Structure 1
């Protein structure tokens, strides 16, 4: 037992103790953050398992505080009024949500404007909220920490583009290293003289300066910021990509070049509507595209990943002690979902132990998905039985889960779909199956059918439900159960067991005897 009278991590086996049972995590259960940017002002209230928080509330107002700043040196007057009204609203909302005191940061526009200090003082005077005006390097650090919230232990380059600035930060082994800022935000670029040719020379010169501090190393590039996400959404449209989840969406240098060229040939208004982008955001895409082209050309990343996590998530990460940061965001989120929604919280761990022999040769990244599936196997039981499988799939593929590649989302969703039905054909999600290989689809089916069978043997949360043994060379699937539990193996359970064996192309063996000690 450790200090808060909970079992130690080792007592929970491969899962570790649930993070949300820890008082340090509960203290982070509802955290409100206000981000006053050059283009937008946003309130996010995080709730739930602190390592992979749910977005309890999320509202953005496009204020354009930094519009015209390069010419006037001052905040946009209309944007200032809109931002003040938004912050006042956010402060009142946070009080009603029990999410105060809010953490509030202001970035490039407020720090660069000559009337920035006056605006911050007005905000505090009229709303009671203190704005922390951070410099570019601190902005880069917080954005990089936001990426680490979703990808523990990641490495590469984090690039966060706002309205008036663009920040770079190196991350390696879960730590933030060198970082730098530049005036490469689209609102700033709009004021550069000389049209497209002038902007291109300006962008090139600024990236030259950035590479002196942060040289290219051809690692992964993480893209943070609304303009990058807009470009990624357009890339999805061009490619006909089936899963419209921006977080962890992947691009390459070639797809970026192809998409930027494609954007130039489209009608902007028609493209905006097809991609569900705001007029304000769409207006920034051409200049952001010019920056991205040069960035990719100079840094030559082997892989480009879009992150929905940034400075706001970085502020939450800032409040976590290191031992919480080191936890797996996917497993913590699934544990929280099980605790909140499953009929028998804790049974997921028992189920995992039961079906694990089927995955003895699986790599750690696959076992991680098996754990997650077991934790989520029963959280949608309230859905109508006719739609439960589809609800499972939709929840896994589109939910706010950190630390999941798109193919892993589909694998998890397909496994949970098979938890409730034998066949995957005939659903509305078949176009997503193509993100997996045939072998991966088969493995997801085996996992789902194993959970479907194991859920029938449900005597108690922490009790043993029997023992599965898998002999892949002999193609034999064996079930051993104690005599006291044998009545649980009724005709429906037997049908599900044989269905699992069929997916494994195996013969079955049934044995009566003591369960595994």
Structure 2
């Protein structure tokens, strides 16, 4: 399945989307194409529950267009799935038969349970969140799951969505204060009938386009210094402030609002109220957004059938780091070796009383070791700048946004001055103690990277001894080959670590 291309057609109530993925056992899963069409199929279901011919023809024409794109991309396998719009149509099976006959595309009708499950599956395999309630609000239905310690506990599908709520409660494209209160009351009543949601005190994770727009709007109004919305976090107060803004703007003003897709301007109001109601019911301290949902869940579950080690929901960053480092020329052997050296040197320093051992600190250190200086792949002389940019400006599964910046600061460490320049836009995110921690761990990683200057993995052990009277730390480094490159680089770079330890360092290679 190396470098195979897999396509998903997701037929929803509001949008229909074609996403093409490529999977490699070396570089992991990547999205290589994403085409969206706003169809609003939910609007074409009449009072008798029948989707009319206009809605059917819209779907048919889109599938014909998508099929052409799939052929141009040379896709190896296709899975087309339909959710609430077809599920709620009494003529749904007739529509599926027609699509197979006219387009050659076989549509799989997902049950409510399957739709909820695959959304949960994507979240636990792409975020570090251990327990949460997920909500995927489409145009005609809303899927909710509850997972604890990464294991699914409960799930439910509710027969309302952003488009159906607009039709039920809004007279116009702009939500009024009265309509806002009615939608919130309706949502609270729906959630109150689900006993397992009550006061869980865990995050709510939003999946899908509506949640994505909430995250983007919040980032826009805060002038957020980071790109991407996967694993972005918001507070309940953020929702209250955004909701107030939404009800104060006209439809034309909403379409121009930064962070809000113009095709969702008329339905974002109901979405925000449903999310706020769910947070209150769950007793959630924060709202998280997951860019990965139903489509990723379908693809990842399929890949895992053939490659059981492709993804690890219990240590999401572990597999993500392997794929990320591989993309920028770092082998799995190097990743393991650098993490092992970092762990070894850290433990030696702690056992000699220089530092106090911390499992959390060790975990942070090993994360940085796995992707240290990956920017070398682009340019040796500007490796630090490239490393920081690459890591801080891309989504990294298993890391929230603060953790992502922390990793970028660690892995790009060159010297204190450059570290502080990278930190400047994010200074308020870190306490003084956290900054000092990153400075010392960054200096340690710089030494570790120098200990593999020839990229041959020749260092087998490190012993540390402190001469307190002379204020010198002796490092005895055992090697299984000539350490010419390592010796040169360590003696060049050790000054940064000497400043952190407030000791001279004498390195002896054996």
Over the residues paired in the alignment, what is the CA RMSD in angstroms?
Answer: 3.3
Q: CA deviation at 1:67?
A: 2.3
Match in the other structure for 1:205:
189
State which of 474, 477, 480 in structure 2 corresponds to 1:481.
477
Other-structure match for 1:443:
437
Alignment check: 8 A CA contact 2:197 2:282 kept: no
Give 3-state SS (helix, strand or coil) of 1:114's partner: coil
- 1:351-410 CA distances to partner (integer Å, 9 max, x unpaired)? 222232454356445444433332322433243456432321222123232110111100
Q: Is 1:219–1:301's contact at 8 Å kept on the other side of the alignment?
A: yes
Q: Residue 115 of structure 1 aligns with which residue?
A: 91
1:506 aligns with 2:502: yes
- Asked whether the equivalents of residues 235 and 285 of structure 2 are also in contact (C-alpha less than 8 Å), the reply is yes
Q: Go from structure 1 to structure 2 and tell me whether the alpha carbon gap of 1:266 and 1:426 turns closer, same or farther (over 3 Å shift).
A: farther
SS of the residue 2:6 aligns to: strand
Mark the CA change 1:508 to 1:466 in structure 2 (over 3 Å): closer, same or farther: farther
CA contact under 8 A between 1:108 and 1:165: conserved in structure 2?
Answer: yes
Shift of 1:229: 1.7
Provide the residue aligned with 1:101 in structure 2.
77
Cα deviation, residue 64, structure 1? 1.5
Q: CA deviation at 1:153?
A: 7.2
Report the counterpart of residue 372 of structure 1 in structure 2. Answer: 367
The Cα offsets for residues 37-58 of structure 1, whole Å up to 9 and x where unpaired, read as 1111122233346796222322
Q: Decide whether the 8 Å contact of 2:165 with 2:183 is kept in 1.
A: yes
Conserved 8 A contact 2:409-2:438: yes
- The answer as to whether partners of 1:350 and 1:461 remain within 8 angstroms in 2 is no
Q: 1:68 to 1:383 in 2, by over 3 A?
A: same
Structure 1: how far apart are the matches of 2:93 and 2:297?
A: 24
Aligned match of 1:401: 396
Give the 3-state SS of the residue equivalent to 1:424 in structure 2: helix
Q: Of the candidates 330, 335, 346, which is equivalent to residue 348 of structure 1?
A: 335
Q: TM-score, normalised by structure 2?
A: 0.84
Q: Deviations over 1:318-347 (max 9, x none)?
A: 332566545633221221233343266622
Give the distance between the partners of 1:80 and 1:39, measured in 2 at CA.
Answer: 14
Gaps of 5+ in 2: 172-178, 348-355
Matched residue, 1:67: 43
1:303 to 267, 272, 286: 286
Residue 342 of structure 1 contacts residue 378 of structure 1 at CA under 8 Å; is this kept in 2? no
Are 2:118 and 2:297, in contact at CA under 8 Å, matched by a contact in 1?
A: yes
8 Å CA contact retained: 1:220, 1:302: yes
Aligned mate of 1:496, from 493, 498, 503? 493
Mapped to 2, the partners of 1:240 and 1:340 lie a distance apart of 30
**In the alignment, which residue of structure 1 is the partner of 2:62?**
86
Among 218, 228, 234, the residue aligned to 2:201 = 218
2:450 aligned residue: 456
Q: How does 1:228-243 map to 2 (within 5 A)?
A: 228-243=211-226
Aligned counterparts, 1:34-53, within 5 A: 34-48=9-23, 53=29
SS in 1 for 2:123: helix
CA distance in 1, matches of 2:52, 2:468: 71
Match of 1:388 in 2: 383
Report matched runs for 1:181-200 at 5 Å.
Answer: 181-193=157-169, 196=179, 198-200=182-184
Match of 1:156 in 2: 132
Deviation at 1:309, TM superposition (A): 1.4
8 A Cα contact 2:474 2:508, kept in partner = no
Q: Deviations over 1:69-115 (max 9, x none)?
A: 36463447555444333333333433444433212211111111233
Separation (CA, whole Å) in 2 of partners of 1:358 and 1:68:
65
CA contact (8 A) 2:392 2:405 kept: yes
Deviations 1:12-40 (A, max 9, x none): xxxxxxxxxxxxxx569643222111111
2:215–2:289 Cα contact (<8 Å) kept: yes
Aligned residues: 486
Q: Deviations over 1:453-489 (max 9, x none)?
A: 4333423433217636487999865432359745435
Verify the 8 A CA contact 1:104 1:130 in the aligned structure 2.
Answer: yes
